[in-house]
């Protein structure tokens, strides 16, 4: 088995080995993965954190040895918490702008070692915050299918990265996340940090958001925003209608 690690700020994971293919997710700096298959300039990968698969460009990651990969699994690295953290790439004197939730792999002092490159972290790395503060820091981030950053994010990417910043790893897609956590029997018993899931007309889970209180939810739909939540679902003040049908609520905290 071969392994790799993301050595750029954000790398697209695609459904097929083509730059024109659908974006299914993103790798953040320092995230590691197994390499399943090579195809010309592409590698099909499975992420270490959530076993998510996709194709990435061969020029957008560094190779990682087996021992180093296992070390990352056993000793999860510190994360970045700010929307943007600067990392000075010493070899070419450039700056890489890291998204929140990036992994500072093999960190020694303020230096992260990725492959054969050294990245000096500029400024304070930061620390965990309250879930409401973390979630609200993404307000007005544009919706991007497959996105995981303040500059573009989808609904399940939003819930996943917020929980990652709390030290909790959950799966990538809303339908997968709905199978995790503890069941909350009704909205009346929901509390801050619970995940609410929503279904389409065919009964398939297609959306997720983070409960703020008994009548508000923060979620990515068009942009990250706060909407009204009741037993029927999400009511959008902007559209003056219900946009998502509530299915189930799960607790992870």
**Tens digits of residue pLDDT in 194-231:** 999 999 999 999 999 999 988 999 999 999 999 999 99
Q: Kindly report, residue by residue over 130-160, the tens digit of the pLDDT.
A: 899 999 999 999 999 999 999 999 999 999 9
Those residues whose C-beta lies under 8 Å from the C-beta of residue 91, and which sit 6 or more positions away, are 117, 118
> What does the pLDDT look like over 27-78, one tens digit per residue?
999 999 999 999 999 999 999 999 999 999 999 999 999 999 999 999 999 9
The C-alpha atoms of residue 65 and residue 96 are separated, in whole angstroms, by 23
Of the candidates 253, 242, 109, the one whose C-alpha atom is nearest the C-alpha of residue 190 is 253
Enumerate domains of the chain plus CATH numbers.
2-121 (2.30.30.40), 131-251 (3.90.1720.10)
CA-CA distances (angstroms) from residue 129 to 82, 96, 98, 136? 10, 24, 18, 11
Question: How do beta strands 23-28 and 32-39 pair?
Answer: unpaired
Give pTM, 2 decimals: 0.95
DSSP per-residue string spanning 230-248: -SSEEEETTTTEEEEEEEE
- Pair of tokens at residue 244: 């998502």
């Amino acid at each position: 088995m071969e392994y790799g690690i993301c050595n750029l700020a954000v790398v697209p994971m695609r459904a097929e080995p083509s730059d024109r293919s659908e974006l299914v997710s993103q790798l953040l700096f320092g995230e590691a993965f197994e390499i399943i298959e090579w195809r010309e300039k592409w590698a099909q990968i499975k992420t270490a954190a959530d076993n998510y698969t996709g194709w990435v460009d061969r020029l957008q990651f560094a190779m990682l040895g087996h021992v180093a990969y296992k070390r990352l699994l056993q000793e999860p690295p510190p994360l970045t918490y700010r929307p943007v953290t600067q990392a000075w790439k010493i070899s070419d004197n450039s700056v890489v702008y890291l998204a929140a939730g990036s992994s500072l792999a093999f960190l020694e002092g303020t230096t992260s070692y990725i492959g054969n490159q050294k990245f000096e972290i500029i400024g304070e790395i930061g620390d965990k915050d309250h879930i409401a503060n973390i979630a609200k820091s993404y307000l007005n981030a544009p919706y991007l299918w497959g996105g995981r950053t303040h500059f573009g994010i989808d609904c399940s990417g939003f819930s996943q990265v917020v929980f990652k910043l709390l030290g909790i790893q959950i799966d990538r897609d809303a339908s997968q996340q709905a199978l995790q956590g503890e069941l909350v029997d009704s909205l009346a018993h929901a509390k801050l940090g619970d995940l609410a899931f929503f279904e389409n007309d065919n009964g398939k889970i297609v959306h997720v958001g983070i409960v703020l209180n008994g009548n508000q939810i923060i979620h990515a739909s068009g942009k990250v925003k706060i909407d009204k939540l009741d037993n029927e679902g999400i009511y959008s003040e902007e559209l003056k209608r219900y946009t998502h049908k509530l299915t189930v609520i799960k607790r992870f905290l």
